[in-house]
Amino acid sequence: MSASLNLTSGAPRPLGILAALPQELGDLIEAMRAASGVRTVTHGQRDYHVGTVHGTPCVVTLARVGKVAAAATVSALIHAFDVEAVVFTGVAGGVGSDVRVGDVVVASTLLQHDLDASPLFPRFEVPLLGMSHFAADTALANRLAAACERFVAEEGAACAARFGTHEPRVHRGLIVSGDQFVASATGVNALRTALPDALAVEMEGAAIAQVCYEYGVPCAVVRTISDTADDHAPASFVSFLTEIAGTYSNAILARFLAGPAAAG
Ligand code: ADE
């Protein structure tokens, strides 16, 4: 992409923060507006909000849903906004046996569970890249997990009481992504069988991680568990998204952004 599309020239480079849906960003854009004023740039049918929040220069946007949308959006963050690192926040379906609604999962690695070019390439492997698992940046993921742990310690019990959920726990491990909302016992059990290490399923993270890997940009993904990807998932997802997701996002991002330097 041409240099003229670099819309944030001059140091320091911002952190890219994205989610699929507005509820998953909480009040982040309003917080930016209050802290620094926001410049909004429309690019590729998305609004990119450029400003500073909790002392960190950021570009905040919505990817919308699915792997193509996520890949296109993070590519723009890298090329048009020159982000130094990327953080994706949102909700996911719990897949791991001890992952419950209200828990938080920070990705160590991400994989596309619906990618299958077998028998030409091993199942899950990205053809010609020779990889199936994409690692989150360790320093960024550590900082995100520390923010989640602080949130759980400081507000977890109150959140559980307020929302009628379990007291949240923080998990770290494999998040799997695909272009489908998993909403049946059969579907989630098939994931457990194929990918026994998977903790959570969503629709964007592994696409973000692959693009960031290809461009050498550090990335991290945090997901709050809105449902357990079974027959109850649609109702659980909708009520968690509308009533709870923003509270988690606000609490985690505030602690993350107020912490040490963005790129770890
Ligand atoms: N995001 C939240 N819940 C999900 C599910 N069950 N499947 C895919 N993406 C999700």
Ligand 1: which atom is nearest the Cα of residue 178?
8
pLDDT of residue 2: 28
Choice from 64, 67, 91, 104 to test ligand 1 binding pocket (greatest atom count within 8 A of CB): 91
Catalytic positions:
24, 227
Q: What is the largest CA-CA distance in the chain?
A: 54
Angle between helices 67-79 and 205-215 (to 10 degrees): 30
Distance from Cα 197 to the centre of ligand 1, integer Å: 17
Does the Cβ of 203 fall within 6 Å of ligand 1? yes
118: enclosing H helix or E strand: none
The rounded Å distance from CA 181 to ligand 1 centre is: 5
Instruction: Determine the distance separating the centroid of ligand 1 and the alpha carbon of 13, expressed in angstroms.
Output: 32
pLDDT digits (tens, 9 = 90+) for 205-226: 999 999 999 999 999 999 999 9
Q: Tell me the per-residue pLDDT of 149-167, one tens digit each, with 9 for 90 and over.
A: 999 999 999 988 888 888 9
> Nearest 10 degrees: CA dihedral of 240, 245, 248, 252?
140
pTM: 0.92
Q: Please give the pLDDT value at position 165.
A: 87
Q: What is the pLDDT of residue 54?
A: 85
Those residues of the chain that have pLDDT short of 70 are 1-11, 260-264
Note the pLDDT of residue 260: 56
At the top level of CATH, which class does the domain 15-259 belong to? alpha beta
Give the span between the Cα atoms of 160 and 254, in whole angstroms: 19
Q: What are the E-state strand segments in the chain?
A: 15-19, 39-43, 46-53, 56-62, 85-94, 104-112, 134-135, 170-177, 198-202, 219-227
Q: Bridge-partner residues for 115, per DSSP?
A: none
| Predicted local confidence at residue 52, as pLDDT | 92
Other CB atoms within 10 A of residue 196 CB: 11
The domains of the chain are located at: 15-259
